Amino acid sequence: SADGGRNLSLDSIPMGLPMSDPTAWATAMNNLGMAPMGMTGQPLLPDFDPALGMMTGIPPINPMMPGLGIVPPPIPPDMPAVKEIIHCKSCTLFPPNPHLPPPATRERPPGCKTVFVGGLPENGTEQIIMEVFEQCGEVIAIRKSKKNFCHIRFAEEFMVDKALYLSGYRIRLGSSTDKKDTGRLHVDFAQARDDLYEWECKQRMLAREERHRRRLAEERFRPPSPPPVVHYSDHECSVVAEKLKDDTKFSEAIQTLLTWIERGEVNRRTANNFYSMIQSANSHIRRLVNEKAAHEKEMEEAKEKFKLALSGILVQFEQIVAVYHSASKQKAWDHFTKAQRKNISVWCKQAEEIRNIHNDELMGIRREEEMEMSDEEIADPSEMKETEESALVSQVEALKEENDSLRWQLDAYRNEVELLKQEHGKATRDEDTTKEQQMKLLQQALQGMQKHLLKVQEEYKKREAELEKVKEDKLKVEALLENLKEQESSTSRVCACNQEKECPMEKTLSNSPVKSEREVLLVGIISTFLHVHPFGASIEYICSYLQRLDSKICTAEVEVLMTRLQNTFRQELSGVGASLEKRWKFCGFDGLKMT
């Protein structure tokens, strides 16, 4: 941040900026309470060389505290850092007003090594920029723009903080006061892809190192893996059988035997070997029981020793407490000082507490012994019976051992029979599985055939329904035709009867638009067709229907007939634009009222 850049320590910004005023060195050192001396201990001002603009024997100057190359005393945080005038070969940097707030900066990008420098003079060159900023650290690259700003990339990140210190300085080239030779520097963090890439590479390297360090620590604390168990063979079987007989190697051999059995190494060929190893493992049970009894005996002896020692310690505690009590009596108590009496009373309380604790512990041990003695008294009748039947027990044990050996042999034979049964059962299972698979395939085929039959039945029912509808339509049309024929015959008879009587009727018939019986039939059929289609139909649709009845009918003849009968048929336009269509409608009921 800007505040951090302003309050940098002297040892973190060793900028070599020469000063032209020789008294500034002594003034800065006097303000810190230090004598104006060089590194060699000689007076500072006599060694000043005005031609070089710097003193001999003094390291590069820090801009925050000019004239010092050594680490000064720490500056109080509430005291602002005083910026001085910085003289370079080609330009001069004037500090900003100390009462103004520090220049604003953007958030620092990770791994930032590039700064943005704005407010450069128009006549400023890369050499002048290098002259000003190379004192902050090694400059890798300068990208200067034509609009009085540039980007500077340093070798390390801490050099950026030194460059931010120059933000707010006014720069003047030489002694010129021209506007093109002056400017106000604005230094800020810049975001560069190269800086971000190097920072990410560094983070990845640190992450790899951390993972490697963590892996080494885990491997250090990981317990060693157990040695691999050898595979079963006749030689290894004999070796393990010998180890099972040895008490010192029994635990290792029993683990190997357990692994072989779990792997499934037992078969008809190796069953006897495994039985002998299991028998030798069984023989160690008696040894383990004897060892347990020996350890219990040792524990009892240790308990007795502990009880005797504890009782002796309690006797000594009682003696010490008796001494304290006798010393507390008035015969001896009056001769002790106040401090001595206090110590004796404290020691007496401590001794009594410790004695009570040990006494409770001893009493607890005695209670446990009494409980054990009561259990033994309860078990005494059974022990008496056992002593009486000890001879029988030995014989029974011998018979048991013989019985166990015979039982193991019987189990071996049973295992062989079970293996044979399993092999036979596997063969039968394979046959059963093949039959089951065939049955499943047949069932799937039957299900597919049933589905297909159901689909065919549904289609057949749909076709039957369609046929019934067509038949019904055909019957309706035939009934209409018969009605029309009856109407035509009745009209012809009426006309023949009234032809001689009424001359006006002859005139009207001669003037009628229908000229033949064929046209009358057409008019009737078209009327029934359009009556079924209340929204009208095109001439092509009507003719297609009539041509099914008589293929000789043409469109022009039908259209001429319908245009002549304006009170029976009416032509209308429907649709919009490209979908405009002429439709004929039946209007006989309205025409009857009009005529």
Q: Model confidence over 411-442: pLDDT tens digits?
A: 777 877 888 888 887 777 777 788 888 888 88
Q: What share of the chain is helix, strand, coil (3-state, %, to 5)?
A: 60, 10, 30
Instruction: State the DSSP code for 45.
Output: S
pLDDT bracket for residue 133 (50, 70, 90): very high
The answer to whether the CB of 189 falls within 8 A of the CB of 160 is yes
Candidate CATH numbers 3.30.950.10, 3.30.9.80, 1.10.10.10, 1.10.4190.10; the one for domain 517-592: 1.10.10.10
Q: How far apart are CA 285 and CA 295, in angstroms?
A: 15
- Listing DSSP states for 408-451 in one string gives HHHHHHHHHHHHHHHHHHHHHHHHHHHHHHHHHHHHHHHHHHHH
pLDDT score, position 534: 82
Instruction: State the DSSP code for 232.
Output: P
Q: How far apart are CA 134 and CA 163, in angstroms?
A: 9
Considering the chain, what percentage of its residues have pLDDT values greater than 70?
78
pLDDT score, position 203: 94
Q: Per mean pLDDT, which range of 86-90, 196-200, 313-317, 589-593 is the poorest?
A: 589-593
Residue scoring higher pLDDT (448 or 372): 448
Burial of 140 (0-12, 13-18, 19+ CB in 10 A): middle
Q: Per mean pLDDT, which range of 64-73, 111-120, 200-209, 375-384 is the poorest?
A: 64-73
Average per-residue pLDDT for the chain:
78
- pTM, full prediction: 0.31
Residue with tokens 């009737």: 524
- Under DSSP, is residue 283 helix (H, G, I), strand (E, B) or coil? coil
pLDDT bracket for residue 552 (50, 70, 90): confident
The answer to whether the CB of 25 falls within 8 A of the CB of 55 is yes
Q: Per mean pLDDT, which range of 122-126, 140-144, 209-213 is the poorest?
A: 122-126
Q: How far apart are CA 525 and CA 549, in angstroms?
A: 10
User: Which architecture does CATH list for 86-201?
Assistant: 2-Layer Sandwich (3.30)
Beta bridge partners of residue 152, listed in sequence order: 115, 142
pLDDT score, position 213: 94
Mean pLDDT of 558-573: 84
pLDDT score, position 11: 38
pLDDT score, position 72: 42
Q: How far apart are CA 68 and CA 36, in angstroms?
A: 10
Mean pLDDT of 177-201: 91
Is the pLDDT at 586 greater than 60, yes or no? yes
Q: How far apart are CA 259 and CA 263, in angstroms?
A: 6
Burial of 497 (0-12, 13-18, 19+ CB in 10 A): exposed
Taking only the tens place, the pLDDT of each residue in 233-250 is 999 999 999 988 888 888
pLDDT score, position 142: 93
Taking only the tens place, the pLDDT of each residue in 316-345 is 988 998 898 888 888 888 888 888 888 988
Is the pLDDT at 175 greater than 90, yes or no? no
Give the pairing type, strands 186-189 and 114-118. Answer: antiparallel
Taking only the tens place, the pLDDT of each residue in 500-528 is 555 444 444 456 677 788 888 888 888 88
- Amino acid symbol at 515: K
Q: How far apart are CA 562 and CA 513, in angstroms?
A: 10
Residue scoring higher pLDDT (283 or 29): 283
Residue scoring higher pLDDT (454 or 425): 454
Of 174, 201, 173, which Cα lies nearest the Cα of 185?
173
Q: How far apart are CA 328 and CA 348, in angstroms?
A: 9
Distance of CA 253 to the CA centre of its chain: 46
Mean pLDDT of 91-99: 89
Is the pLDDT at 201 greater than 80, yes or no? yes
pLDDT score, position 329: 86
Q: Which two tokens stand for residue 222?
A: 């990981």
Question: How long, in residues, is the chain?
Answer: 595
pLDDT score, position 31: 44
Considering the chain, what percentage of its residues have pLDDT values greater than 90?
19
pLDDT score, position 9: 36
Give the pairing type, strands 114-118 and 91-94. Answer: unpaired
Q: Which helix or strand (DSSP H or E) is residue 574 part of?
A: strand 569-574
- Under DSSP, is residue 562 helix (H, G, I), strand (E, B) or coil? helix
- Under DSSP, is residue 512 helix (H, G, I), strand (E, B) or coil? coil
- Amino acid symbol at 341: R
Boundaries of every domain in the chain: 86-201, 234-309, 311-369, 517-592
Q: What is the 3-state secondary structure (H, E, C) of 459-506?
A: HHHHHHHHHHHHHHHHHHHHHHHHHHHHHHHHHHHHHHHHCCCCHHHH
Instruction: State the DSSP code for 73.
Output: P
pLDDT bracket for residue 206 (50, 70, 90): very high
Is the pLDDT at 81 greater than 70, yes or no? no
The answer to whether the CB of 79 falls within 8 A of the CB of 32 is no
Q: Per mean pLDDT, which range of 17-31, 346-360, 430-444 is the poorest?
A: 17-31
Is the pLDDT at 102 greater than 70, yes or no? yes
Mean pLDDT of 179-191: 91
